[in-house]
Amino acid sequence: MPRLAASVVAIVAFACSVDAPARTVYRCVRAGTVSLSTAPEPGSKCEAKAIDDNAAMLPNLWGELGVFSGTLYEWRAPDGRMVYTTRRMPGAVQYLKFTVETPKASPAHPGLGRLGPPKLDAHAREFRAAAKAHKVDDAFLRAIAHAESGFDARAVSPKGAQGLMQLMPDVQKEYGVVDPFASKQSIDAGAKFLRALLRRYKGDFNLAAAAYNAGIGAVAKFRGVPPYAETLAYVEKVHALHERYRSAMGLKPLDPPLRPAQ
């Protein structure tokens, strides 16, 4: 896969067959996700960007997403034009894979500040019991709790997640939570949920954390960690915390280390 220093703008621009010193790339946004295309995408809000072939540096049209991978698709528009886009449109076929390196988002989960040191004394008995009962890495379970609520059992997010493990109401219901603000119930349900995610992703902590943050559907849609700034930052933060908790608990470092978001 080609690795790009700034963005996939060059690939999209040069996919056009027009021989001209400047080309047009469309930056399209739909449902909070960004794509680049050689023509406006139906159903997306698109903005035309003129790309100068002779410019010393191509613009970053993605935003601050860190490093992520994607696919450029070839798609025939209703008017018969061949369009190249990074969004999978109906009937599109894969043209090539790419990896994009953009400025990093803040390594801290938005709104939660710095990582801080491991808190081994926070609900230690409940974490040990839940991790053992549901066969989940205790350090990973604590890392998620640290990132989600900072171990605040009364935490409530703007999106409706509740409790120490910040579980959404549908997850609470699925795993038998009666009181979402009871730390023991929240930790136990969070361990069950993480166990299910780790089984789904064959033990991949990176994907499990991404699904915990953005949802299973988003991971399936992007076939890996979604290229959302918040999710990329969250996965990075959970990984860093996971390493710190494993070290504080006398466990060996993670192997392999965190992979770039896929």
Largest CA distance in the chain: 67
3-state SS, residue 26: strand
Burial of 141 (0-12, 13-18, 19+ CB in 10 A): buried
Helix (H) or strand (E) holding 191: helix 183-200
Whether residue 199 contacts residue 182, with contact meaning beta carbons closer than 8 Å, is answered with: no
Residues whose CB falls within 8 Å of the CB of residue 257, separated by 6 or more in sequence, listed in order: none
DSSP string, 207-254: HHHHHHHH-HHHHHHHTSS---HHHHHHHHHHHHHHHHHHHHTTPPPP
Alpha carbon of 171 to those of 55, 162, 208, 214, 221: distances in Å? 50, 10, 15, 13, 20
Q: How many CB atoms lie within 10 A of CB 148?
A: 25
Helix pair 138-149, 205-214: axis angle to 10 deg = 30
Whether residue 186 contacts residue 177, with contact meaning beta carbons closer than 8 Å, is answered with: yes
Q: Which residues are catalytic?
A: 148
DSSP string, 95-128: EEEEEEE-PPPPSSPTTS-------TTTTHHHHH
